Amino acid sequence: MKVSHSATGMRVAFDDPNLVAFAGLELTTSLARTLDLVALIQRHVALAPGAGAANAGQKGMTLVSARLAGAEYIDDVDLLRAGNTAAVVGHHVAAPSTIGTFLRRFTWGNVRQLDAVNGEALQRAWRAGAGPGDAPLTVDIDSTICETYGVQKQGGGSRFTYTKVRGYHPLVATASGFGDVLHTRHRGGPAFSGRGAGTFVTETIHRVCAAGATGELTFRADSGFYASAVVSACRKQQARFSITARSSKGLHQVIGAIGEADWTPIPYWLDGTADVAETVDTPFGKRGPRKEFRLIVRRVMPTPGSQLALKGIGSTYHAVITNREGEMLELEADHRRHAEVESVIRDLKYGVGLNHMPSGKFGANGAWLGFNVLAHNLARWLTRLGGDQPAQPEVVTTKTVRTRYLSLPGRLASSGRRSYLHLPTNWPWADRFISMLERLAMLDVPALAPM
């Protein structure tokens, strides 16, 4: 027992084995148990025999719970071993050294197995009511740089990314309006934005369809994914797309041929500073599908007094190719909402710790990404499946979920052979907490066919 006196005269002692550091993990543990995530990881992830390979399900969910509790480093897993917190997690909590050994057992094949876990977990959650059902679904795809600082990290330290920093460059697909991460692919830093994007789009489409999304599917992307492989993948799967066109001499000629009378002012912009026009284009030259698509172009004039105006720079042009049907102004405005993906990526980095890649092993960092995605999605599903209207997404950050529901202290007690978790009185979100717990207890996950 460690005892001390603070400057205020308060006596401080670490002496209560029944206290729970993150009592709100009872919510995510309940949801994870309903989705049967421990068994799911155990069944899919087959690590080679050796140190750290046993009990992959428990170790994986230990890491997921630690991420939800705010752990940014492997050593932070120890926060689940304080007091009686492990009883709320619901299974044995492995030590940080064991978690580190566990992660280093992952090969690229094991990372793909973990990706399959995320895919089936998405199926279970969406079929339980967290998904879009037959409503239209928009998928935003992007890549992000996870910066590293050492030169010994496989794939992320010895060479530079296109931004001239060391790091990894994973692909990310997210569900617009829901905040779910639908698919990721771990990649080395030198990978350019669109590398492997065609197959990534195809895998994402298969995943959301398997999860029960039956409505119209639309993919939005920036110019890093302006490639015939991405367009072909969308068309083959009968999905819509909206992709920022990459600047080229041919594109400049197409835009230059638009007549002045064809430009329509954007009514929700500063008056007289932006307008939109539409034409057609056959992108990608001989390598493309040789098909005309709609080309929607936004023209932006410098705001008087801005730096661009002071430097004498004329209008800037932003073009989008699409096979979507609809009114030009609405489609252009919807495409700009692709920026939502940045909020999800920021939440991955600063909500569940993707800003830090802990290992020198490429496979270990790929597993770190996979478990971060699972933790992120659990927080998203918690707010929808435990909410009053699961069909209406409540997109809140992981930090908000942690503050309101996960990080409250508690104390475990036993009476009449039953366990009681005592939580603070006057907790602002106590009613919502109890409501979520009751709804999760009644949750029914339809049986899935074996994969």
Question: 74: pLDDT confidence band, cut at 50, 70 and 90?
Answer: very high
Which tops the pLDDT comparison, 286 or 275? 275
- The CA distance from 117 to 122, in Å, is 9
pLDDT in the model for residue 317 = 87
| Range from 95-104, 340-349, 388-397 carrying the lowest mean pLDDT | 388-397
Q: Which DSSP string corresponds to 342-369?
A: HHHHHHHHHHS-TT----S-HHHHHHHH
Residues in the chain: 451
In this predicted model, what pLDDT tens digit does every residue of 290-303 receive, in sequence order?
788 999 999 887 76
- The CA distance from 77 to 268, in Å, is 48
Number of Cβ atoms within 10 Å of the Cβ of 79: 17
pLDDT higher than threshold 70 for residue 113: yes
pLDDT, average across residues 79-99 = 92
Which tops the pLDDT comparison, 387 or 229? 229
In this predicted model, what pLDDT tens digit does every residue of 189-243 receive, in sequence order?
888 888 899 999 999 999 999 999 999 999 999 999 999 999 999 999 999 999 9
| Range from 67-81, 137-151, 300-314, 316-330 carrying the lowest mean pLDDT | 300-314
- The CA distance from 219 to 338, in Å, is 9
pLDDT in the model for residue 451 = 46
Whole-number mean pLDDT of the chain? 88
Tell me phi and psi for residue 11, to 5 degrees: -85, 125
Question: 12: pLDDT confidence band, cut at 50, 70 and 90?
Answer: confident
pLDDT higher than threshold 60 for residue 136: yes
| Cα 405 off chain centre by | 20
pLDDT in the model for residue 200 = 96
pLDDT, average across residues 60-66 = 96
How do strand 137-143 and strand 217-221 relate by DSSP bridges? parallel
Question: 390: pLDDT confidence band, cut at 50, 70 and 90?
Answer: very low
Question: 140: pLDDT confidence band, cut at 50, 70 and 90?
Answer: very high
pLDDT in the model for residue 310 = 46
The 3-state DSSP class for residue 411 equals strand
| Range from 152-161, 167-176, 350-359 carrying the lowest mean pLDDT | 152-161
In this predicted model, what pLDDT tens digit does every residue of 400-409 receive, in sequence order?
999 999 999 9
In this predicted model, what pLDDT tens digit does every residue of 16-45 receive, in sequence order?
889 999 999 999 999 999 999 999 999 999
For CA atoms 393, 394, 397, 403, give the dihedral sign: negative
pLDDT higher than threshold 90 for residue 99: yes
pLDDT in the model for residue 392 = 45
For CA atoms 115, 119, 124, 130, give the dihedral sign: positive
| Cα 330 off chain centre by | 26
Report yes or no: 139 and 181 within 8 Å, Cβ to Cβ.
no
pLDDT in the model for residue 303 = 65
- The CA distance from 5 to 75, in Å, is 28
In this predicted model, what pLDDT tens digit does every residue of 304-362 receive, in sequence order?
555 554 454 567 889 999 999 999 999 999 999 999 999 999 999 999 999 888 888 99
Question: 439: pLDDT confidence band, cut at 50, 70 and 90?
Answer: very high
